[in-house]
Amino acid sequence: MSKYDVAVLGGGPGGYVAALRAARRGAKACCIEARDLGGTCLNVGCIPTKAMLHASELFWNFGRASDYGLAVGERSVDGAAYMKRVAQVVAGLRKGVEGLLKQAGVDVVRGRGRLARRGGLVVETAGGTEAIEAGAIIVATGSQPIRPNFLPWDTGHLWTTDEATTCETLPESILIMGGGIIGCEFATLYAELGVQTTVVEMLDRLAPQVDEDAARAIHRLLKKRKVKVLTGSKVVGMKAGPDGAEARLEGGETVKAARALVAVGRRPNIEDLGLEEVGVELEDGIIKVDERCRTNVPGVYAIGDCAERRQYAHLASRMGVVAADNATGHDAADDRTVVPVGVYTHPEVAAVGLSEAEAREVCDRLRVGRFSYRASGMARAYGETEGQVKILADEAMGEILGAVVIGSHATDVVQEIALAMRNELTVEELAATIHPHPTFAEGVLEAAEAWLGLPIHAV
């Protein structure tokens, strides 16, 4: 039996970060992972999709070269080379994670682990069963794509994001089932590369997770890229054959494509982990944890997608730090109310805190400050004038309740507002902060000044 101070079950962006933090705190730590280190985020999620999106944006902008006084030759996409680069990016970062764990002295146990008792785990490895005893256990098993069972998965024509990010070339056409954040990002990159793209979303608008202004902007960008968007439409059946997949929609319409990408959400990996045997409490299908990432069982913590409804890698990493600190005798807490969200469409969408609709429900004195990218010097210089910065705050106190940024570099710009919210700064204090010029971040200053009723460049 191997003994550790901290054992982490899962090697994704929450798990490996937790293991590293525990080791940095002086603990003897191990990280148990049956698949590639880095989890969904690094291997089949955040990283490969961003590599794909950056390349597709370059290709799309080549088509606008004449707008910048540039001349380019005929454009073409080498699907195999495109996907090869994506794989190289992932492999390089995965190697980096392996190196960090090794350098920190974290033992990587290759296999599938489960809780056997309080303070004990068993791991099914290639060489047999290994028993591990630990003073603290951190469950970080992540999530997996939902695969509706009425779809013909055995035909080879259906993908989840796992297959879409690891395939060897691009499809000739794609049907995306699900118009949430993931579906919209893939629709963006495929359309920019010239792949005929259709998105089917059962709700009446795309990206229901984001502010309505942001959802409308995403819809516009997809239409501009010739994506066929079908909202208020539900896939009720699908068949697949040599020519691809054909979806039947409620109402009788059919949609055909060479591949179908099913992006209807993810479910937490909480099955067969021994949670019930140990007595770990679940709530609404995820592990119940407090602000210190503690479960109801002493010495057992849980982080990331298996313990949070919001499935973001950066949130999992933060929870990993909190859990590891508490597991090593330190006191750390995070109520997880300020969590920025990024949608990497073109233009990007980013948000933190409440949407405008949510803010109006809880605040009778809501005031909105806006600044359009059309008035931004940097946005003009870049030729990226679609977008806005929107700050939502209480009229009396200046307390920031939320913000939405739509436009180039939005996911970078929103972080300033997240920092302000985290530290309870007011809109006035944002407006009093000198911002470098020219930058996209100036939009935050301008929106804050507009909120104060003292706009400089906003109208």
- Determine the Cα–Cα distance for residues 46 and 62; give it in Å rounded to an integer: 24
- Residue 56, both tokens: 């597709």
CB atoms within 10 A of CB 254: 11
d(CA 67, CA 380): 12
Whether 54 is a known active-site residue: answer: no
Q: What is the C-alpha to C-alpha distance for residues 86 and 88, in angstroms, rounded to an integer?
A: 5
How far apart (Å, rounded) are the C-alpha atoms in residues 444 and 381?
A: 18
Contact of 31 with 139, CB cutoff 8 Å:
no
From the list 314, 346, 409, 437, the catalytic residue is: 437
Cβ distance 230 to 198 under 8 Å? yes
* CA atoms of 13 and 311, how far apart (whole Å): 11
- Alpha carbons 32 and 383: distance in angstroms, whole number: 47
| Residues 108, 101 contacting (CB under 8 angstroms) | yes
Supply 263's token pair. Answer: 């992006």
Residue 13's CB: how many other CB atoms inside 10 A? 31
Residue numbers annotated as active site: 437
